[in-house]
Amino acid sequence: MSDEQLHELAKTHEYVSDIKVYSPVDGVVISRGINLQQRFQPQSPLYEIADLSKVWIVADIYRDQMETFAAGKQANITVGPQYKTISATVTNSLPLFDPSTRTFRLRLEASNPDFLLRPDMFVDVTLEGPATDKISVPSDAVIDAGQHKVVYVEVGTDVFEPRQVEIGASYDNQVAVLAGIHGGDRVVTSGAFLVDSESRMRYVTASNSSSQ
C-alpha cells in the first residue's frame, strides 16, 4: 500500500475490502504470480512487468567474428513475416561463451517502436563485416545435423562423402567454412538434403542386412 492509501485509512477509519496495488513502473506484464483469493506474503512477486520500449537482443557469433563486431557497431534486426527492419547497436557488454552451440553471445540494444520485439522472439541479425579470404560454400550445401554441420564432398563419379565442417560467418547466400574441406573440393550445392537422406537410408539398409 502506498503512503497515500495508509493516510486515507488513518483519516477515515473505514474497513476496506479491496485495495488497489499500483505498479512502480510502466510496462507490459511478463508473468503473473497471483490468482483470485490467493494468499501471499509481502515478499511474494505478484507480477513481473517489463519496459519494452528498449530491449536487448542476443546474437550468436563465432570466435573469428569477435574483433569485427566491436561495441558501438550498428546492426539491422529483421522482424516477422513482414520483414520489418529495426536498427540496433552492439553494447560494450562482454560476450559470454555458450558451450552448447560453441558460439559467443553478443548483446545488442535497440529501440522497440510499436513493440515489434517481444521476449523470447527469434529475429535475424545482420552485421556488416569485412570480406574474408576463407573458403565459402552456398548455404544450401551445409546440413545442420544437430551438434555438428555436414557438407557432402564428391570423392568419385557419383560418389559423395559426408564431411563434418566448422562454419563461420555467412554473407548473402554464402557460408564461410573454417575447417573440414579444402580448396578445390567439389561439394554438393543443390539437393544436399536428398543426398543426406539417401545416405542414411543406405546405412540403415546395410545395418539391417548385417544383423540378419
Rounded to whole angstroms, how far apart are CA atoms 143 and 149? 6
Q: Which three cell numbers stand for residue 188?
A: 554438393
Greater pLDDT, 11 or 101: 11
Residue 212 pLDDT more than 80? no
Our count of domains for the chain comes to 2
Domain CATH for 90: 2.40.30.170
What's the confidence (pLDDT) of residue 211? 47
pLDDT in tens, 85-137: 888 999 988 888 888 878 888 899 999 878 888 888 888 888 766 555 677 77
**Domain assignment present for 74:** yes
Q: Are residues 170 and 122 in the same domain?
A: no
Strand stretches in 63-158, DSSP E: 74-79, 84-90, 96-98, 103-111, 124-126, 135-138, 143-144, 149-156
Residue 193 pLDDT more than 90? no
Residue 6 pLDDT more than 50? yes
Q: What are phi and psi of 149, to 5 degrees?
A: -110, 145
Whole-number Cα distances in Å, 138 to 24, 76, 126, 172, 179: 52, 22, 18, 9, 15
pTM (two decimals) = 0.50
Q: Are residues 160 and 193 in the same domain?
A: yes
Helices (H), 73-127: none
What's the confidence (pLDDT) of residue 108? 92
**Domain assignment present for 207:** yes
Strand duo 159-171 + 174-179: pairing: antiparallel
**Domain assignment present for 4:** no
pLDDT in tens, 19-70: 787 887 788 888 888 888 888 887 888 888 888 889 999 988 877 677 677 7
Q: Are residues 95 and 141 in the same domain?
A: no
When pLDDT is averaged across residues 149-169 and rounded to a whole number, the result is: 77
Could you give the percent of the chain with pLDDT greater than 90? 5
Domain CATH for 181: 2.40.420.20
Whole-number Cα distances in Å, 76 to 44, 58, 181: 39, 13, 31
**Domain assignment present for 42:** no
Residue 210 pLDDT more than 50? no
When pLDDT is averaged across residues 154-163 and rounded to a whole number, the result is: 77
What's the confidence (pLDDT) of residue 208? 40
What's the confidence (pLDDT) of residue 201? 41
Look over the chain and give the mean of its residue pLDDT values, rounded to a whole number.
Answer: 77
CB count within 10 Å of CB 201 equals: 10
Q: Are residues 165 and 142 in the same domain?
A: yes
**Domain assignment present for 203:** yes
Beta bridge partners of 166: 179
Sign of the C-alpha dihedral computed for residues 121, 123, 129 and 133 taken in this order: positive
Q: Are residues 158 and 199 in the same domain?
A: yes
Q: Which three cell numbers stand for residue 97?
A: 561463451
The parent domain of residue 206 ranges over 135-211
**Domain assignment present for 83:** yes
Q: Which three cell numbers stand for residue 18?
A: 479491496
Choosing from 94, 126, 158, the residue where a domain stops is 126
When pLDDT is averaged across residues 179-205 and rounded to a whole number, the result is: 61
Q: Are residues 147 and 188 in the same domain?
A: yes
**Domain assignment present for 110:** yes
What's the confidence (pLDDT) of residue 24? 79
